[in-house]
Structure 1
Amino acid sequence: MFDIGVNLTSSRFKKDYLDVLERARSAGITGMVITGTNISDSKKALNLSKQNLNYCWSTAGVHPHYANRWSEDSNGELRSLASEPQVVAIGECGLDFNRNFSEPKQQCYVFQAQLELAVELNLPVFLHCRQAHNSFMSLLKPFIPQIKGAVLHCFTGTYKELRSYLDENLFIGITGWVSDQNRGRELRKLIPLIPSTHLLLETDAPWLLPQDIYPSPLSKRNEPSFLSYILQKVAFLRKEVETELEIQTTLNAHKFFSI
C-alpha cells in the first residue's frame, strides 16, 4: 500500500512521528508522500523525506488557505524546494471557497502561479478543491496539455465533478471520508465509477480518521497505518479483491509520482 497524502509535519505528530513511520511499515505501507501546505511546511516535509529516503517523498506548495502569505519571494523559494529530487509534485495547491481563509482572487493568483511552476519543472500537481469547481477547472484546463499529471486530492465531489476530472485525465485520491456514515454517502456511490488506472489512496493523516476502525483510537488521530481500512472499504464498494486493488493503486502511485 502507498499513502499519497500524509501531513506528517503536523504538530500532532511532533512527539512520535518515528513511531508513526514504524507502525506504517508494520502495517504494510511501502511508501508515502508527505504533503507541503506552505513554504515553511514544505521545507519540513522535504527534510522528513530526506531522513527517510526510498520510503518518504514530499510535495512543495501553498494550500489555498495560505494564499494570503504568498509574497514576491514565494515563487523562487518554491522553485528551489521543488527542484530537490525528493519533491515529487507541486502542491497542495488549488482553490477553497468553503471557508475563504484567503481572498478568492488571491487564491486564484497563487494557484495559477503554481500551475505555471509545475509546467516549468515538469512535475505533477497535488490538487485541492472545495466549493470552487467552476473557477478551479477554468484555471486548470489550459494547463492540462502541458502538465505532467494531476491528482484531485481527497475527492468528495459530485458525479458531475468526477466526470469533469476524469475527462481531463485527472487521478482521484480517496480518503477515510469514504467511510463516514453521513458525509461519505454520495462518495460511496461514485467509487465504482473511478477507473482502476486513475485511483489513488490516502489517509490525509492526522485528519479524516476512517469511521470503521474498531476500537477507534482514543486520540482520534489518523495515521498512515490505517490506510488498510480505506483499501478495504474501496475494494468492497468496487467489488474487487483487496490484494489486487492494493497492487493496482500502489502501481498508480509509483507511476504518477515517477518513483
Structure 2
Amino acid sequence: MELIDIGANLTHDSFDHDRNAVLHRAREAGVAQLIVTGASREHSPKALALAQAHPGELFATAGVHPHHASEYTDECDAEMRALHAHAEVVAVGECGLDYFRDFSPRPAQRRAFERQLQIAADTCKPLFLHQRDAHDDLMAAMGNFDGRLGPAVVHCFTGTKKELFDYLDQDWHIGITGWLCDERRGLHLRELVRSIPANRLMIETDAPYLLPRTVKPQPSHRRNEPMYLAHIVAELARDRGEDVDATAAQTTRTARAFFRLPATG
C-alpha cells in the first residue's frame, strides 16, 4: 500500500527531537510521499528546507494561514513569491478564512487570502485551502478569481453536506483527516465521504494535530504522526464500502496528479 499524506505540519516544534524517526515510521506504514504544510512567514521557508533535504519524498506548500493574516505585508507577499519559485513548493497555502477563532481580524484575513489567490493565479499552482465558519466569504473570494485559478483542495474538510456539494460543484478536491474518526464531531463525515468522487478525494493527517481517536492504543503524548495515515485510509475505505487497497491506490493517484508529483521508485 502506497500512500500520500497531502498535509502534515512537520515543521512543528513537537517534531524537532525525532523528525527523522517520524519519517522512518511513516515510510514503514506505507507513506511514500508527503506534503509539508507551510502556513506562516516563519514555517513556509522551513517547509521548503525540509522538502529540499528529502528530494522526491517530501514536498512543500507555502502560504499564510488566516490565523497569521495580520503578518501579510508587501514584504511577506514578496517572500511567498520567492518561495514559489522553487519546484519543491507544489501548492499555494495553507490559506483561506477562519471565522471560528478570529485570531486575525476578518478584513485582514480577506486581504491576505486575496493576495494569495493572486499568487495562485500568477503561478498556476494548486490551492491548499482552509475554511472554518467562513464558507460564504470563501466562495465569494474564489468567485472573484473565476477562470483564473487552477485546481483547489479544501484541506481537512469537516463541513456540512451543503458545503461539500458547493465545493464539488466547483470541481475542487477534498482532504479527509482523522476528524473522520472522532465520534463526537466527525460522525456526519462517515456518511458524507460516500458522496466524494474518487478522483476528488485525498487523505491527510494534519500532524501533529487531529490524532485519530480510534487508534488503539492511544499514544500517551497524543501527537499525531504521518504513520497514522494508514489508519485513516482504512476507516475511510470502510465508510465508503471499498477495499482498503483500492481506496489507498485511488487517493494516491489523485494526489500525485493534483500536486504533479513524480512517481516513486
TM-score tier by shorter-chain length is over 0.9
Which of 185, 210, 221 is residue 223 of structure 2 equivalent to?
Answer: 221
| Runs (5+) with no aligned partner, structure 1 | none
> What pairs with 1:113-128 in structure 2 (closer than 5 Å)?
113-128=115-130
1:160 partner letter: K
Query: Which residue is equivalent to 2:165?
Result: 163
CA deviation string 1:131-181 (max 9, x = no partner):
000001000123242212100000000000000000001100000000001
Counterpart residue number, 1:146: 148
Q: Structure 1: which amino acid aligns with 2:77?
A: N
- Gaps in structure 2 of 5+ consecutive residues: none
Contact 1:65-1:101 at 8 Å conserved across structures: yes
Q: Which amino acid aligns with 1:135?
A: D
Identity rate, percent = 44
**Which of 72, 80, 83 is equivalent to 2:82?**
80
Deviation at 1:95, TM superposition (A): 0.0
The 1-side partners of 2:184 and 2:22 are apart by 29
Match of 2:131 in 1: 129
2:29 maps to 1:47: no
Structure 1 residue 188, shift from structure 2 partner: 1.3
User: For 1:171-222, what per-residue CA distance to the aligned partner results, in whole angstroms no more than 9, with x for missing partners?
Assistant: 0000000000110011112010000110000000000001111111111000
AA at the equivalent of 2:29: A
Q: CA deviation at 1:41?
A: 0.4
- 1:143 alignment partner, SS class: coil
Q: Which moved more, 1:43-52 or 1:70-79?
A: 70-79
TM (norm. structure 2) is 0.97
The whole-number CA distance in structure 1 between the counterparts of 2:197 and 2:49 is 34
What letter corresponds to residue 80 of structure 2 in structure 1?
Answer: L
RMSD: 0.7
Partner of 1:61: 63
User: 2-side partners of 1:173 and 1:237: how far apart?
Assistant: 15
Cα deviation per residue 1:70-121 (whole Å; 9 max; x = unaligned)?
1121111100001101000000000000010000001000000000111101
Aligned partners of 1:70 and 1:169: how far apart in 2?
28
Find the aligned partners of 2:214 and 2:166 in 1 and give their Cα distance.
30
- 1:193 aligns to 2:160 (yes or no): no
Question: Following the alignment from structure 1 to structure 2, what is the Cα–Cα distance between the partners of residues 143 and 211?
Answer: 38
Partner Cα distance (1:144, 1:219) in 2: 44
CA distance in 1 between partners of 2:203 and 2:192 (Å): 15
1:23 to 22, 25, 28: 25
Match of 2:14 in 1: 12
Query: 1: distance between equivalents of 2:247 and 2:85?
Result: 32
Mapped pair 1:97 → 2:99: yes
| 3-state SS of paired residue (1:39) | coil
Distance in 1 (alpha carbons) for counterparts of 2:201 and 2:78:
32
1:206 equivalent in structure 2: 208
